[in-house]
Amino acid sequence: MTTNTGIGRTLFDKLWDMHCIDDLGDGTGLILIDRVMLHERTGGVALESLAAAGRTVNAPAQVFATMDHVVDTLPGRTDATIMPTGRDFILATRTAAQAAGITLFDLGDDRQGIVHVVSPEQGIILPGLTLVCPDSHTCSQGALGGLAWGIGSTEAEHALATSTLRVRKPKSMRITIEGSLAAGVTAKDLALHLLGRFGAAGAKGHVVEYAGSAVRALEIEERLTLCNMATELAAFTAIVAPDEKAFAYLEGRPYAPTGDEWARAVESWHDLRSDDGARFDTDLRIDAADVAPGITWGTSPQHYAPIDAVVPAYEGVAARDSREAYDRALDYMGVAAGQSLRDLRIDAAFIGSCTNARLSDLRRAAAVLKGRHVAPGVRAICVPGSSRVKAAAEAEGLDAIFRNSGFEWRESGCSMCFFAGGESFGAGERVVSSTNRNFESRQGPGTRTHLASPETVAASAIAGMIADPRLLQTGN
């Protein structure tokens, strides 16, 4: 099951080979899992189910849990939640985590936050590691050069009990992005551009390696945003070869190695790249110059258009689903073909989520907001991705910029990225959101979600309608 050793291995092949304990036949490997991360929404049930079956966690020191999905994000929060049964999830996860002896970043802990923000921030994900979490956006963490992927709760039980997973080796895809992103074009725009071009099943089942000069030029937090939305492409996961930026980002993080061990680790990580001549099952290239700030107009993340465009006619959609799905999406969103996206009035603006709520995201949004005010009637909310991000933002005064512009400034969590029965936006309300999914009723029953970058959300909040952030003078 080892791939052709020696020449021509992809980064993914190398990670697979390092972790493959046994060949189980038919392309399936028994894969060593270095880290398991859990959250209260899907992790508590996995821990409880494991215990109910009389099983224990094999390596509890390698397992981390956080509270992010159903916790409230209003100031002064407690275990009580707006979601009617949210407290049950919090208490169950806390009790089960304690019983299992795993590390929990609980409410009130300054390490608490969205799992895919916390893991890189704490140095839990490292280059060359395997990490799994019962959460589809685990692919984000591939930005640091580890193989990180989302699984179900039953698979999480398997990983917890055995430190392994039985995995059918996915196919490999390389998406090479050469050139430079234009000024004002972000990693989120790039992610949406790829979805619009290749579709919501465009990378189905593949491990996507993002490569090329435009990817190397991205900062780590931008790579996290790019890799985050690989699950929207139906990828198994995404990965970026770790480089000096990744090493610099991780050095000194709480769970990263130190001293001689750090030096030894970095030395070994230099080999974590696809060999020259490595063959991918699919090899795609795009030109970074083709990417413009964009926004979604429909109910699938592939329903994307440049922000200065109109809602496309059915025939003009690059990644097309059925005519029925297209009509249904327009009807749900209350938009018509040919309508300018920038003419759409909005009811709300949301900056948050594992996609776009890291410190650099908040800085860029704040640069747009500084000295300006949210349009009358627009509800604007900012939810930092972690408690550390929140504290860092406050230390440099970003919270004041958000508040002064009319944004609510929240405690960290997944918040209104999705509606779990607690807080939501209203039926028919149009929301510009820095999140990752625009499915029907994702942010509230009947709520209309347009996905965009944090700066586009900020610019739209100010304008009261979908707005191009490049048209606002950013900075002072």
Partner 1 sequence: MQPFTTLTATAAPLLRDNVDTDAIIPSREMKSVSKTGLADGLFAGWRYTQIGGRNPDPAFILNQPDYAAAQFLLSGENFGCGSSREHAAWALAEYGFRAIVAPSFNPIFRGNCIRNGIVPIELESGPVANAAQALPLTIDLAAQTVVAASGQSWHFAIEAEAKAMLLGGLDMIDLTLQRRDRIEAFRAADRHQRPWAYFAA
Site residues for partner 1, 336-375, by CB under 8 A, read none
Q: Cβ 359 to partner 1, closest distance in Å?
A: 25
Give the three-state DSSP class for 414: coil
Eight-state DSSP code of residue 465:
B
Q: Which is nearer to partner 1, 302 or 460 (CB)?
A: 302
Residues 299-328 that bind partner 1 (CB under 8 A): 300, 302, 321-322, 324-325
Q: Which is nearer to partner 1, 265 or 400 (CB)?
A: 265
Helices 220-228, 187-198: axis angle to 10 degrees equals 30
User: Distance between CA atoms of 359 and 26, rounded to whole angstroms?
Assistant: 44
Residues 179-198 that bind partner 1 (CB under 8 A): none
Interface with partner 1 includes 446 (CB under 8 A)? yes
- Phi first, then psi, for residue 396 (nearest 5°) are -105, 15
When binding is defined by CB under 8 A, the residue of 1, 8, 49, 176 that contacts partner 1 is 49
Interface with partner 1 includes 126 (CB under 8 A)? yes
**Using an 8 Å Cβ cutoff, are 77 and 429 in contact?**
no
Neighbours of 421 (CB within 10 A): 12
Interface with partner 1 includes 236 (CB under 8 A)? yes
Residues 210-229 that bind partner 1 (CB under 8 A): none
Q: Where are the beta strands (DSSP E) in 188-246?
A: 206-211, 237-239
Interface with partner 1 includes 171 (CB under 8 A)? no
What residue has token string 């979908």? 466
Interface with partner 1 includes 51 (CB under 8 A)? no
Burial of 377 (0-12, 13-18, 19+ CB in 10 A): exposed
Q: Which is nearer to partner 1, 232 or 468 (CB)?
A: 232
Interface with partner 1 includes 34 (CB under 8 A)? yes
Q: Cβ 108 to partner 1, closest distance in Å?
A: 21
When binding is defined by CB under 8 A, the residue of 36, 104, 129, 291 that contacts partner 1 is 129
Q: Which is nearer to partner 1, 229 or 465 (CB)?
A: 229
Residues 67-96 that bind partner 1 (CB under 8 A): 84-85, 88-89, 92
Neighbours of 212 (CB within 10 A): 17
Q: Cβ 434 to partner 1, closest distance in Å?
A: 18
Interface with partner 1 includes 24 (CB under 8 A)? yes
Interface with partner 1 includes 164 (CB under 8 A)? yes
Eight-state DSSP code of residue 143:
G
Neighbours of 408 (CB within 10 A): 15
Q: State the first-to-last Cα distance of the chain, in angstroms, to the nearest integer.
A: 57
User: Distance between CA atoms of 225 and 211, rounded to whole angstroms?
Assistant: 15
Written as six digits, the tokens of 436 are: 């990752």
User: Candidates 3-11, 189-197, 219-227, 419-427 — which segment interacts with partner 1 by CB under 8 A?
Assistant: 419-427
Interface with partner 1 includes 60 (CB under 8 A)? yes
User: Distance between CA atoms of 195 and 295, rounded to whole angstroms?
Assistant: 11
Strand partners for 305: 295
Q: Which is nearer to partner 1, 216 or 255 (CB)?
A: 255
Residues 137-156 that bind partner 1 (CB under 8 A): 138, 150-155
**Using an 8 Å Cβ cutoff, are 52 and 96 in contact?**
no
- Phi first, then psi, for residue 337 (nearest 5°) are -55, 135
Q: Which is nearer to partner 1, 153 or 456 (CB)?
A: 153
Residues 255-274 that bind partner 1 (CB under 8 A): 255-257, 261-262, 264-265, 268
Written as six digits, the tokens of 182 are: 């234009």
When binding is defined by CB under 8 A, the residue of 110, 168, 377, 403 that contacts partner 1 is 168
